[in-house]
Structure 1
């Protein structure tokens, strides 16, 4: 995953060193030599992460971080403070200013790249929600993006060492409602209840693999959107880095400082509440204007507006974007044979299966009649083809249960796949190629997936 990184440091040698490391990983990099220059740059250049030195003349790194987080236009950009300072009071000051993480000089290359990629992935999930809110605003609906406090939440702490669990519960209990769990399987079940705003996992679990636990939390609804924080030993860098690759939001190193822990918890809960509120607002405000009443998916009007934004984003980031056009086979025959009531039930069940088997950032729409469109950001053609094949098998493998006709009805779907092909490509051309691939699938016998690169 590539992204745009702003490096802020008044020492040119430090800037060149960070630029070389990041450019080698294909990030796009800009630099600033002061806090004032950084603030001007970030307002004009949409970046994904800011790497910020502390010791600078004039506005130091703490003041610069606070200014970034105070501006509604930039507060969603993750800030990593890079410093030679390694005292706890410096970390606390940075967290209070809104920093997302710290890297201590000399910087470990693996830790740098892993954390940057992790923060970019987390930011883009939030960006997708805000982008959908802006799409709703363009269509005449409201957009609510006010800040949220992060106190008084319900937390789940997973730790099978009684003494460690007791200390964590004591640290957190003054500000939050905290449930402790020693068994990993029960922790997954409890997280699935949707009652929690943060899960904290001890990476030193003895009775289960903590990384598998984090992966399981990420793979199930509604825990998929649950922030995860891990507690790691300072010398357990490999597993800590692996946890970030799995989508963990944050980490705390032992010995755990109570003030640092509370600040990091507060930050994660605040972000979750803001995202939850934004998602709720989006769903409420645009439902009537951009939702298909029968299936509950977005409609063609929303697709056209949102595709423009996603294509522009792919162009700016030089990223991937794929589109699947899906058409239920012989749907007219279903209507003619069993009636439109049965046809409507088939459409609703197909939409349910489609929506339950895609990522939260993917966009599923009913394009019209029995035709659907799935838009997948940050997804290349080969992966999109695999998704199309998975959906095709999911539809064909299990007959549809309908109430107003035959008890079980066999349904298949044909799928066309196309992807963004670089600068100059347009939403209309991508959709056209996807549609042409769909017609190829129909001509070749239906119940199949065809990709068309050009």
Structure 2
């Protein structure tokens, strides 16, 4: 793994030492000697991670971090504070300023590379999600509040050492909801019973009677826990297992004896980060849905119809199967808009869409292709069966009055045309054209009817 790292320190020897270590691991290294230069470099070069000294003249590291995290254009860049101060409150002060992690001088190589690689890996994920949503998925550039906080989290603690588990729960009580599991089985049961899932899992690597590393491995492979951050608790000399669990994808660690303030800070940081990435994932999912669905009705849109129908026809022809297409037009819909307004018309279309959805199978593709026009694609369905489906939809539309507003009840009908694959050379356009011709015939013959196209 390689990345662009910005090192910020007012002491040249410190800069050169970190630069040599990171360059030896093939990282691209940028440097700055004060807070003002650091902010300029962050805005100009957009590094993948910032290693930031706390004690600097002028703008100190805490203030630099605060400004990076307050800027919507840079707040997603991980910041690791580096301090010569070994007091927990000083380290926590950096995390509270928005820092993603901290290191204490002299910097331990193991901790340095673990923190850098872990945070860069996370940034790559968030960068990918951000790129899929246009770079500003949460509206931060438009003045929205910064990303979600990390308080009030739902935490699963996996530990069966009573003293240690009670202490962890006691420290987090009142600020987070903590569920204790004493084995992997209990952890799985806790996940199955939870309605919302957990936002952080804390694992004591020295859990009695179990392999803590195997528990972490299983958590990272299970679908329901794969994206949940894991914070492990390890002994001060347990470097080998620490490295291996971090390679598995474990997100963070605490060294025993666990410091109260550091525990709070790391828990909040992991939960905040998890909530942010979950918002990104939801934003990506929403963007994908908007790309293929009609915003008014929730049915698929014309773009999705065009991309899927041709594929379904090719598959059907190659496998000797059938595909039918049903087109629907709401009768006299213009008069609904003209008489009752477009809001009422929109509610009618939403109700029509709901009735179509209820009348077809889950494998069928119900689409709104524009205005009051709908198309339903019926895989593995012959023309006669498709006609019966069309009749079921027609009755669903006509049988119950529509209520687009208070005291307003309308009788709405629909005309439908049906076509099916007639020859191996049939295309999507052929099917849609024949279905439309049948639909026009249904309108000419009085509307509120289903007409099937001749083969």
Tell me the TM-score normalized by structure 1: 0.63
Mapping for residues 341-420 of structure 1, pairs under 5 Å: none
**How far has the Cα of 1:144 moved from its partner?**
7.6
**How far has the Cα of 1:332 moved from its partner?**
5.2
* Secondary structure of residue in 2 paired with 1:180: strand
**How far has the Cα of 1:148 moved from its partner?**
1.1
Give 2:227's aligned residue: 225
8 A contact 1:145–1:278 mirrored in 2: no
8 A contact 2:157–2:181 mirrored in 1: yes
The yes-or-no answer on 1:274 pairing with 2:276 is yes
Q: 1: distance between equivalents of 2:277 and 2:126?
A: 7
* Secondary structure of residue in 2 paired with 1:171: helix
* Secondary structure of residue in 1 paired with 2:80: strand
Q: 2: distance between equivalents of 1:169 and 1:40?
A: 42
The yes-or-no answer on 1:81 pairing with 2:76 is no
Give 2:216's aligned residue: 214
Give 2:51's aligned residue: 51
The yes-or-no answer on 1:339 pairing with 2:328 is no
8 A contact 1:7–1:50 mirrored in 2: yes
Gaps of 5+ in 1: 303-326, 342-347, 350-401, 406-454
CA gap of 1:14–1:299, structure 2 versus 1, over 3 A, is farther
Q: 2: distance between equivalents of 1:19 and 1:205?
A: 38
**How far has the Cα of 1:236 moved from its partner?**
1.9
8 A contact 1:290–1:301 mirrored in 2: no
**How far has the Cα of 1:278 moved from its partner?**
2.8
**How far has the Cα of 1:28 moved from its partner?**
0.7
Give 2:6's aligned residue: 6
Give 1:64's aligned residue: 64
CA gap of 1:14–1:301, structure 2 versus 1, over 3 A, is farther
* Secondary structure of residue in 2 paired with 1:338: coil
Give 1:283's aligned residue: 285
CA gap of 1:270–1:300, structure 2 versus 1, over 3 A, is farther
**How far has the Cα of 1:116 moved from its partner?**
0.9
Q: 1: distance between equivalents of 2:38 and 2:72?
A: 16
**How far has the Cα of 1:136 moved from its partner?**
9.1
8 A contact 2:70–2:146 mirrored in 1: no
**How far has the Cα of 1:188 moved from its partner?**
3.9
* Secondary structure of residue in 2 paired with 1:110: helix
Mapping for residues 10-49 of structure 1, pairs under 5 Å: 10-49=10-49
Gaps of 5+ in 2: 325-362, 365-378, 383-455
CA gap of 1:110–1:136, structure 2 versus 1, over 3 A, is closer
**How far has the Cα of 1:295 moved from its partner?**
10
8 A contact 1:136–1:282 mirrored in 2: no
Q: 2: distance between equivalents of 1:257 and 1:403?
A: 63
Q: 1: distance between equivalents of 2:156 and 2:277?
A: 19
Q: 1: distance between equivalents of 2:292 and 2:61?
A: 43
Give 2:182's aligned residue: 182
Give 2:328's aligned residue: none
Give 1:252's aligned residue: 254
**How far has the Cα of 1:152 moved from its partner?**
1.7
Mapping for residues 79-228 of structure 1, pairs under 5 Å: 79-134=79-134, 146-191=146-191, 195-228=197-230
Give 1:306's aligned residue: none
8 A contact 2:82–2:104 mirrored in 1: yes
Q: CA RMSD in A?
A: 3.5
* Secondary structure of residue in 2 paired with 1:7: strand
Mapping for residues 254-333 of structure 1, pairs under 5 Å: 254-290=256-292, 331=315, 333=317
Q: 2: distance between equivalents of 1:47 and 1:233?
A: 33
**How far has the Cα of 1:290 moved from its partner?**
4.8
* Secondary structure of residue in 2 paired with 1:224: coil
Moved more, 190-199 or 85-94: 190-199
Q: 1: distance between equivalents of 2:59 and 2:15?
A: 18
Q: 2: distance between equivalents of 1:301 and 1:10?
A: 60
Task: Give per-residue Cα distances to partners, 1:21-68, cap 9 Å, x unaligned.
Answer: 111111111000011111110111121111111221111222222222
Q: 1: distance between equivalents of 2:113 and 2:135?
A: 32
Length, aligned pairs only:
320
**How far has the Cα of 1:146 moved from its partner?**
4.1
8 A contact 2:82–2:105 mirrored in 1: yes
CA gap of 1:253–1:404, structure 2 versus 1, over 3 A, is farther
CA gap of 1:185–1:301, structure 2 versus 1, over 3 A, is farther
* Secondary structure of residue in 2 paired with 1:217: helix
**How far has the Cα of 1:255 moved from its partner?**
2.0
Q: 2: distance between equivalents of 1:149 and 1:93?
A: 16
8 A contact 1:133–1:143 mirrored in 2: no
Task: Give per-residue Cα distances to partners, 1:405-447, cap 9 Å, x unaligned.
Answer: 9xxxxxxxxxxxxxxxxxxxxxxxxxxxxxxxxxxxxxxxxxx
Tell me the TM-score normalized by structure 2: 0.63
8 A contact 2:89–2:261 mirrored in 1: no
Task: Give per-residue Cα distances to partners, 1:341-393, cap 9 Å, x unaligned.
Answer: 7xxxxxx89xxxxxxxxxxxxxxxxxxxxxxxxxxxxxxxxxxxxxxxxxxxx
8 A contact 2:130–2:136 mirrored in 1: no
Q: 2: distance between equivalents of 1:143 and 1:227?
A: 28
* Secondary structure of residue in 1 paired with 2:226: helix
Q: Which protein has the larger Cα radius of gyration, Structure 1 or Structure 2? A: 2
**How far has the Cα of 1:119 moved from its partner?**
0.9
